[in-house]
Amino acid sequence: MKYQSVFDIIGPVMVGPSSSHTAGAARIGLAARNLFGKQPAWAKIHLYESFAKTYRGHGTDFALAGGLLGFATDDPRMSKALDIAKEEGLHIEFIEDSASSVHPNTARVIVGDGKEELELVGISIGGGKIEIIELNGFELRLSGNHPAILVLHNDRFGAIASVTKILAKYRINIGHMEVNRKDVGKDALMVIETDQNVDDTILNELKGADHIIKVSKIVS
Amino acid sequence: MGIRFRTVSELLELTEKHDLPISEVMIQQEMDIKGKNRDELYEQMEKNLQVMEKAIEDAFKGVQSVTGLTGGDAVRIQKYMKENTPLSGNLLLDAVSKAMGTNEVNAAMGIICATPTAGSAGCVPGALFAVKERFNPSREDMIRFLFTAGAFGFVVANNAFISGAAGGCQAEIGSAGAMASAAIVEMAGGTPEQSANAFAITLKNMLGLVCDPVAGLVEVPCVKRNALGVSQALVSADLALAGVKSKIPCDEVIGAMYRIGKQMPSALRETGEGGLADTPTGRLLKEKIFGASV
């Protein structure tokens, strides 16, 4: 089921004017910030279809900026987010992309600072709800509504078991899990949605497990 | 496994089997899925209710959008109601002013509660705060109204769509108005089946409604489409309470709405390219707002 909660329907509380183009866009920006793990120094944002055609009027631009700054959907600073980003030295570029996309409201967000980069594709599916469908070239399906752990690992046997064993030890329940790889035996990405936020000690233990390259998390 | 529904017919079966109102089925499913207790859910819904109440208050003080395209109509309607006897009746026009007012606040980038979306956020609170004057509901009854509306929206969102970009205005105002109809019926003491009939009648009357916002903004015609949504919501509720039934069952109406949305060209799905957006005046307004280059 795409929508699990009545509060996806009656909600979110948000700054207008559009749930998909404003609230959803803010949540895509926020997901990019969370996955990057900090505020990026720059962002390149490709907008497709309805996002590309109407982003100015709907405030999709300032909402994406607001999300990158860590604003919630009802943050009163939202409409000033582009100015605030400038003040904080976050450089954002918007590109109206004419390519077709899987969903009418799609944004490809590339963020970085001097050291690293992250690229994700988010879709805003209605009523403020979003899905992250691509991360650094990996296809995935992440709602952004639940806490999640993302584990980049070598595609070897035992890698998944070593992660789930640690989660079981700390009694962390897995709500949804999927594994994607670019090629057999190369890097793979584990996406684990959990019922509760996972604290950093557990994250550090995961980082030390066999075949694990990188671990990041989304809090909810 | 506790209570679970994904269609209106499953929802109605649960109300019958456990002898519960629709709101209660929604509350129990939510408690089960989220692992939360009733107080926590009520508290969360109370916050949404307060946002709705505040948006209407703000609208009645008078708001204006940045573009100047919308704002001030809620005040205008309230004044007219005080000085005249509205042809369509006080309750209906009160609902219209509250629905349009909520959307004026949204267009002015104020804070609203999406129900189910921001563009259609006026229908459910407009209906609720108008029938409140008639029924004098408790705070809990008002919260239940929102859970009932949410139950139907939940089914639409999971079986069709609720955004204009995906399915046109029928998916937004259509869903919102239909959700409001069902909730009014429950508050008025109607049966779950009557709620379902009210929902089906409203959604049927919204089929094919396109999303054609001028300049791509959630202003023209969105604010007035909320007047449409809430009026049809009240009329359908009365029809259902009078015993009028929808010949086509709810789930099939939702299915029809989905197929129509899929057949709708992208120009009529929130791209600001077709319909009213593509009229001489629509194009002129867009040019005035964004400049000739856009």
Amino acid at A44: K
Mean of all residue pLDDT scores within chain B: 96
Nearest to B174 by CA among B282, B260, B240: B260
pLDDT of B212 > 50? The answer is yes
pLDDT at B294: 44
pLDDT category at A218 given cuts 50, 70, 90 is confident
**Residue of chain B whose Cα is closest to the Cα of A102:** B166
pLDDT of B292 > 70? The answer is no
Averaged pLDDT, B159-175: 97
DSSP SS3 for B13: helix
The dihedrals phi and psi of A136, each to the nearest 5 degrees, come to 45, 45
The domain ranges of chain B are 20-290
Averaged pLDDT, A67-93: 96
Higher pLDDT, A196 or A65: A65
pLDDT of B93 > 60? The answer is yes
**Least confident residue range of A170-174, B58-62, B115-119:** A170-174
Alpha helix (H) ranges present in chain B? 8-18, 22-34, 38-61, 73-83, 90-107, 123-135, 139-159, 164-167, 169, 175-187, 192-206, 222-241, 250-263, 280-290
The nearest CA of chain A is from the CA of B26 a distance in Å of 8
CATH architecture of A148-218: 2-Layer Sandwich (3.30)
- CB B213 to CB A104 under 8 A? no
Mean of all residue pLDDT scores within chain A: 91
The C-alpha angle B247, B248, B252, rounded to 5 degrees, equals 170
pLDDT at A220: 67
pLDDT category at A49 given cuts 50, 70, 90 is confident
Averaged pLDDT, A135-157: 87
Averaged pLDDT, B12-38: 96
Q: State percent of chain A over pLDDT 70.
A: 99
pLDDT at A141: 86
Residues of A in contact with B161 (CB under 8 A): 125-126
A120 forms beta bridges with A109, A135
Alpha helix (H) ranges present in B4-89? 8-18, 22-34, 38-61, 73-83
Residues 6+ apart with CB under 8 A from B279: none
The nearest CA of chain A is from the CA of B145 a distance in Å of 11
Please name the member of B33, B157, B216 whose beta carbon is closest to the beta carbon of A127.
B157
Nearest to B9 by CA among B212, B173, B195: B195
ipTM confidence:
0.96
Question: What length does chain B have?
Answer: 294
- Chain A to chain B Cβ contacts (< 8 Å): 175
pLDDT of B121 > 60? The answer is yes
pLDDT at B1: 61
- CB A15 to CB B215 under 8 A? no
pLDDT category at A53 given cuts 50, 70, 90 is confident
Please name the member of B111, B114, B272 whose beta carbon is closest to the beta carbon of A54.
B272
Averaged pLDDT, B86-90: 96
The nearest CA of chain A is from the CA of B159 a distance in Å of 9
**Biggest distance spanned by C-alpha atoms of chain B:** 61
The domain ranges of chain A are 6-142, 148-218
- CB B266 to CB A49 under 8 A? yes
Whole-model pTM: value is: 0.91
- CATH number belonging to domain B20-290: 1.10.4100
- For domain A6-142, give its CATH number from 3.30.1330.90, 3.30.420.280, 1.10.10.10, 3.30.70.330: 3.30.1330.90
pLDDT at B11: 98
pLDDT of B216 > 80? The answer is yes
pLDDT category at A124 given cuts 50, 70, 90 is very high
**Least confident residue range of B91-95, B169-173, B288-292:** B288-292
pLDDT category at B293 given cuts 50, 70, 90 is very low
The nearest CA of chain A is from the CA of B85 a distance in Å of 33
- CB B109 to CB A12 under 8 A? no
The C-alpha angle B91, B197, B255, rounded to 5 degrees, equals 120
The nearest CA of chain A is from the CA of B153 a distance in Å of 6
pLDDT at B291: 76
**Residue of chain B whose Cα is closest to the Cα of A55:** B216
Mutate to test the interface with B, among A2, A13, A18 (most CBs of B within 10 A): A18
Structure confidence by residue, pLDDT tens digits, B37-62:
999 999 999 999 999 999 999 999 99
Residues of A in contact with B289 (CB under 8 A): 57
